[in-house]
Chains A and B, each alone.
Chain A
Amino acid sequence: MKYVLLFVATEEFERDLEAMDPPDRERAYQRVGEWMATHTGKIRGGNKLQPPETATTVRLDRGEPVITDGPFVEGKEVVSGYLEVEVADLDEALAMVKTWPGCPIVEIRPPESQ
């Protein structure tokens, strides 16, 4: 069963990461790297996204396409990356996500075509 993990960062998380000493930040990235290595057999694809400042949103429900700067929801929580994983069931995906050492929120959603 395939699931997409949507990683969500908060303003607070980004601030804390920025405020870290370089060695601490290095260790934080290292933990994420280790998590990826542990689960590499289940990961089918994905990427980290560049910061929300780089986002451009197009709205097509207002007659002419409206192009705006920034992510589609203005908020304190932004999608910061995604992974597609292949596991047996939701419990296995949950077990995997519970040990995620990065951003504070992860949404698990099955893609429509398996």
Chain B
Amino acid sequence: MTEASHGQLAGVVREHAGQLAAALMRVTGDFDTAEDLVQDAVLAALQHWPVDGIPDRPDAWLFTVARRRALDGFRRAGNYRAKLAQLQWPVQPAEDERLRLIFTCCHPALSRPAQVALTLRVVCGLTTGQIARAFVVREATIAQRITRAKRKITDARIPYRVPDDDELAPRLTEVLTVIYLLFNEGYLTTTGPPPTMDKAMDKAMDRAMDRDLAEDAEWLAGLLDTLMPAEPEVAGLLALIRLHRARAAARFGADGSLVLLEDQDRSLWDREAITDAIRLLSRAARRQRPGPYQLQAAIVACHAEAASFVETDWEQIVLLYDMLLHLAPSPVTRLHRAIAVRYATGARAAMAELDDLADALDDYYLYHASRAELLRALGHPDLARAADRRALELTANPAEQALLRQRLAYS
């Protein structure tokens, strides 16, 4: 199978798996059953489509498989059987019901890892194996996580619906957190260093089916934006993800090493995608309901719009960080603000800010790596090396480790 058709396959599955889950959910009223049937259909598709090609009506194909499986092997009451036997294609949903699906998968009564795994499987149509490989955990662990989560949905009766208005804000935050977490996981790992030995030894066929979580996260944010067009934070998250992905090609060198923003070849950035994302963000901003995702996207937009590193509007970035800290105070955000202060005001001012964060961020590699840079700029190379060594101890990411080692070797 070629790369293009692999991407196509993932896209088609993603487009239809959630729809099928929602349709089956309507018939059976049982999350567990609906979810199992979708997974069966997706597995069958991944087996047949690479060989036979993607059918003209993939949704009908998936539906037919799920329906046949359901009628064949129902272990439970004949109730579903009767309902399913009457069920004909095409199923015509009154509306896109995937929103209910998303809110159920991201219900706060489920643990974060369960929310993530369920959303990927139910809404994006990933198989358990694909999820396990994306997170580098055992397949049995993911399978158990999903089984437990589904059991809780049934036994504790977690409702299948979009929360009421008075509950919507915190519940939407929960959903956005899951999507952002997925994006980060994908963004930090997929375009990163070459696969480890373990992964390389996987069956080639399996790896050809691997999914890019950053792509799934962008798709989910896009779906949510379509379903909830009046929520500016959804658009903010979508813009944030697109602004990052538009610059992904410049993040790694030919040898797979991480390239810092300062040294990136800006001609590799996707200008069109950046312009589109900024337009999306401006539209969200007109609703006058700022939030952490819109502000983070605005900060990334400042970087993306700058013709070069020195021409970056650092004053504007510091201002945006101030607003972000006002809405969501966090030491990590203060650290990023301090880095912007270095370029807006100077290294000494930035160092003063960092000193205030010493207790809160002593275990965070980026704190020490940033401190090293400031110490070097202020003429303390020995202290800078010590800070770099501390940073190296604290990061497990191979690309970041390589960068720090390089700095220690050449400074």
Contacts and interface: CB of A to CB of B under 8 A. Distances in A.
Interface of A: 1, 88-91, 94-95, 108-110
Given A90-B109, A91-B167, A95-B167, A110 B159 contact: no
Contact of A1 (B109, B157, B163, B167): B157
B160 to A, nearest CB: 9
Nearest to B161: A91
B167 A110 contact: no
List of 10 A-B pairs having minimum Cβ-Cβ separation, nearest first: A89-B159, A89-B157, A1-B157, A90-B158, A91-B159, A90-B156, A110-B156, A90-B157, A90-B109, A110-B155
A110 B158 CA distance: 11
B159 A90 contact: yes
A89 B158 contact: yes
B156 A91 contact: no
A6 B156 CA distance: 15
A88 B157 CA distance: 9
Interface residues of B, number: 10
B169 to A, nearest CB: 13
Contacts of A1: 157
Interface in B146-161: 155-159, 161
Contacts of B155: 110
A88 B158 CA distance: 10
Given A90-B157, A90-B159, A110-B155, 18 more contacts: A1-B157, A89-B157, A89-B158, A89-B159, A90-B107, A90-B109, A90-B156, A90-B158, A91-B158, A91-B159, A91-B161, A91-B163, A91-B167, A94-B109, A95-B167, A109-B156, A110-B156, A110-B157
Dominant SS at the A interface? mixed
A91 B320 CA distance: 36
A89 B104 CA distance: 12
8 contacts: A88-B159, A90-B109, A90-B156, A90-B157, A91-B167, A94-B109, A95-B167, A109-B156
A109 B109 CA distance: 11
Interface string B289-320: 00000000000000000000000000000000
Contacts of B159: 88-91
A108 B109 CA distance: 10
B154 to A, nearest CB: 10
A108 B161 CA distance: 20
B170 to A, nearest CB: 10
Contacts of A88: 159
Interface in B362-391: none
Nearest to A91: B159
Nearest to B158: A90
Contacts of B163: 91
A95 B155 CA distance: 18
A36 to B, nearest CB: 22
Contacts of A110: 155-157
A67 to B, nearest CB: 34
Residue of A88, A90, A110 contacting most chain B CB atoms (<10 Å): A90
A50 B174 CA distance: 38
A110 B156 CA distance: 6
Contacts of A89: 157-159
Contacts of B157: 1, 89-90, 110
Nearest to A114: B157
A108 B157 CA distance: 12
A89 B31 CA distance: 14
Residue of B157, B158, B159, B163 contacting most chain A CB atoms (<10 Å): B157
Contacts of A95: 167
Nearest to B159: A89
A95 B171 CA distance: 13
Interface in B126-174: 155-159, 161, 163, 167
